[in-house]
Amino acid sequence: MWHWLRDKRRKKILATAFPKEWERHIQNNIQYYQHLNNIEKEHLQDLIQIFIAEKYWLGCNDLELTDEIRVIIAAHACLLILALPNDYYRNVETIYVYPTTIFSPESAPGFFELRTTPVRGPLPILG
Mean of pLDDT over the chain:
86
Q: What is the DSSP letter of 4?
A: H
pLDDT digits (tens, 9 = 90+) for 91-126: 889 999 988 877 777 766 677 777 676 666 676 776
Question: 3-state DSSP call for residue 12?
Answer: helix
Residue type, 126: L
The Cα–Cα gap between 111 and 5 comes to 41
pLDDT digits (tens, 9 = 90+) for 17-38: 999 999 999 999 999 999 999 9
